[in-house]
A and B are shown apart, each in its own frame.
Chain A
């Protein structure tokens, strides 16, 4: 299991467009990828699940990957978060 924690600085939080991009990124990997925020957990490969977390600006998100390609997944997603949120 691999994970990282990130604080969202984008004023709109994880809104629709980047949520869609995130799902796209996460779906490339075989590993199970989840997001934890405000005591809730969501599946990073499911758009409704990601949007359902309603991650606002300033929130802290923990991204966890578990599976064969977990290292690559976490590496890619960490870069993705830095660029987009």
Chain B
């Protein structure tokens, strides 16, 4: 047995096989071959297996999502049989004497470029289908992990690190836990794991050792320990721990439907942070009272071109419809820093966390921002929408955003398109500058939502993507807590509501303090809602107010 110590970022215990996820495209072997006929046969066999997989997927999908939606797998199959596609692969193998992997990868690029060059966003998106089918064949040819994921029993994912676009693409149903060598507790791996309620350990150096691929492992998300080929004693101990955790989960489900009110009658809104339409199901499963943060950047990641107004409109509309009248706070474009999309063609920045990101990008590219605002306003008819703008540092930025919003509303009126006039507008307080001048910002907005992840990184001058600096990233720092207190006070002074949507909102050690500060809303990953509710129900704020507020001293 080998024990690897990492940092647990999402509690829970998982038993399963480790599956190494390697970066796609990073290791397509490019070799010259002698026997072109044999190479073609290799390709044909891989293609046959791919078709078989697609047939299986199609059948499975018909049962789960209906024939119309399952059709995509039929189309993928047709693509694999397309003579143009096959000719291209064959020509490259025969004439350039390249191996099948290279031939498929070159063909995939050629065909997806053809789609990318079309002037129709729907067709442009089809480039992803070509990449997808090619990846399927490549995975079979190179026996890579990515594909085994969808076709095998549940696994524990091991990776160096996970990019936001990779987490979007992942089929999450077969994942028991995550372990990564890099990352920090507010990285995407951690956020994804919390959303899915899967145990996760980051900074697990050594887990990508090639002999561990496929090994039986146990992940303890509480202690951050990973056991490779565990011995009997460890298995028994961990099984006990898993049972305890499962019991806790069971207990929490009893809290569903109970209102989050303290013993002395103080209530708080308990919202969920989500990143995609499908996460709405988790909001309900965990009894969320609304959505406090819908990260719209997931619409922009993992694709080749800007999402169109229609595309965005239909997603926002669905989210609002699914929320059935509950408040949904949608955060506008937050691209930049650790979240990059190639088509934005952002100049290389030495320090992107302090570069042209989020609202700065929106204000320098008003056309992109206005497309999103139009889609949001149009969708506002279908529920209770609140628009929230990230990374504000000045009053001027707020006023500029408001001007653009006004322009958009005016345009919509002229086009006779309907929207709700009472749609709320709020800002994220996630820079020290915004927190310090929040009394000046409050009269201009309907609400504040404190983004503690960035607020911590910027206030403490610690890069949250740097695992070595994590030791200096103390989110309980008095400076952070005082800023939060200032922001909530300023909001109440101006008669607006204030919430917290960063990781700190779910930190049970601080719940009493936040309640003593009279925070109006806490927004956390769906799986953190019930533990937080349990904590709130147990609090008696009038009794502990003074003690709790001592943390500010």
Select which of A16, A17, A21, A48 is within 8 A of B84 by beta carbon: A48
- Smallest CB–CB gap between B50 and chain A, Å? 15
Q: Mark B47-77, 1 if CB is under 8 A from A, else 0.
A: 0000000000000000000001001101100
Report 7 cross-chain contacts, Cβ distance below 8 Å, ordered by A residue: A17-B71, A20-B78, A24-B74, A46-B83, A48-B84, A51-B126, A54-B119
The reply to whether B75 and A47 form a contact with Cβ atoms under 8 Å apart is: yes
Select which of A24, A48, A54, A56 is within 8 A of B79 by beta carbon: A48
Return the chain A residue nearest B74 by Cβ.
Answer: A20
Rounded to whole angstroms, the CA-CA distance of A24 and B78 in the bound complex is 9
By secondary structure, the A interface counts as helix
Select which of B85, B114, B129 is within 8 A of A16 by beta carbon: B129
Q: From known contacts A20-B74, A47-B75, A47-B78, infer whether A15 and B123 are also in contact, taking CB-CB under 8 Å.
A: yes
Q: Mark A8-42, 1 if CB is under 8 A from B, else 0.
A: 00001101110111011000000000000000000
A17: B residues at CB distance < 8 A: 68, 71-72, 75
B85: A residues at CB distance < 8 A: 48
Select which of A19, A49, A56 is within 8 A of B120 by beta carbon: A56
Please name the 8 residue pairs, one residue from A and one from B, whose CB atoms are nearest each other, closest first: A20-B75, A47-B78, A54-B118, A48-B82, A17-B71, A48-B84, A54-B123, A47-B82
A67: B residues at CB distance < 8 A: none
Rounded to whole angstroms, the CA-CA distance of A54 and B75 in the bound complex is 16
Question: Which of B93-120 touch A at CB < 8 Å?
Answer: 111, 114-115, 118-120
Question: Which of B514-534 touch A at CB < 8 Å?
Answer: none
The reply to whether B123 and A20 form a contact with Cβ atoms under 8 Å apart is: no
Return the chain B residue nearest A45 by Cβ.
Answer: B83
Select which of A12, A20, A47, A52 is within 8 A of B122 by beta carbon: A12
Question: Which of A38-85 touch B at CB < 8 Å?
Answer: 46-49, 51-52, 54, 56
Rounded to whole angstroms, the CA-CA distance of A51 and B114 in the bound complex is 10
Size category of the A interface is 10 to 19
- Smallest CB–CB gap between A32 and chain B, Å? 13
Rounded to whole angstroms, the CA-CA distance of A16 and B115 in the bound complex is 12
Rounded to whole angstroms, the CA-CA distance of A54 and B123 in the bound complex is 7
The reply to whether B129 and A46 form a contact with Cβ atoms under 8 Å apart is: no
B84: A residues at CB distance < 8 A: 46, 48-49
Return the chain B residue nearest A54 by Cβ.
Answer: B118
Q: From known contacts A16-B126, A17-B68, A54-B119, infer whether A48 and B75 are also in contact, taking CB-CB under 8 Å.
A: no
B71: A residues at CB distance < 8 A: 17, 20-21
- Smallest CB–CB gap between B503 and chain A, Å? 39
Rounded to whole angstroms, the CA-CA distance of A16 and B83 in the bound complex is 18
B83: A residues at CB distance < 8 A: 46
B111: A residues at CB distance < 8 A: 48
The reply to whether A46 and B82 form a contact with Cβ atoms under 8 Å apart is: yes
- Smallest CB–CB gap between A39 and chain B, Å? 15
Rounded to whole angstroms, the CA-CA distance of A49 and B111 in the bound complex is 11
Rounded to whole angstroms, the CA-CA distance of A52 and B85 in the bound complex is 12
- Smallest CB–CB gap between B227 and chain A, Å? 45
- Smallest CB–CB gap between A63 and chain B, Å? 19
Rounded to whole angstroms, the CA-CA distance of A51 and B126 in the bound complex is 9
B78: A residues at CB distance < 8 A: 20, 23-24, 47
Rounded to whole angstroms, the CA-CA distance of A52 and B71 in the bound complex is 19
The reply to whether B120 and A16 form a contact with Cβ atoms under 8 Å apart is: no
Return the chain B residue nearest A21 by Cβ.
Answer: B71
Rounded to whole angstroms, the CA-CA distance of A47 and B83 in the bound complex is 9
Return the chain A residue nearest B124 by Cβ.
Answer: A54
Rounded to whole angstroms, the CA-CA distance of A48 and B87 in the bound complex is 12
Rounded to whole angstroms, the CA-CA distance of A23 and B72 in the bound complex is 13
Rounded to whole angstroms, the CA-CA distance of A51 and B119 in the bound complex is 13
The reply to whether A19 and B75 form a contact with Cβ atoms under 8 Å apart is: yes
Return the chain B residue nearest A52 by Cβ.
Answer: B114
- Smallest CB–CB gap between B123 and chain A, Å? 5
The reply to whether A15 and B122 form a contact with Cβ atoms under 8 Å apart is: yes
Rounded to whole angstroms, the CA-CA distance of A39 and B480 in the bound complex is 64
Q: Mark B110-145, 1 if CB is under 8 A from A, else 0.
A: 010011001110110010010000000000000000
- Smallest CB–CB gap between B103 and chain A, Å? 16
Rounded to whole angstroms, the CA-CA distance of A56 and B119 in the bound complex is 10
A15: B residues at CB distance < 8 A: 122-123
A19: B residues at CB distance < 8 A: 75
A47: B residues at CB distance < 8 A: 75, 78-79, 82
Return the chain A residue nearest B81 by Cβ.
Answer: A47
Rounded to whole angstroms, the CA-CA distance of A41 and B120 in the bound complex is 18
Return the chain B residue nearest A15 by Cβ.
Answer: B122
Return the chain A residue nearest B88 by Cβ.
Answer: A48
Interface centre among B72, B75, B78 (most CB of A within 10 A): B78
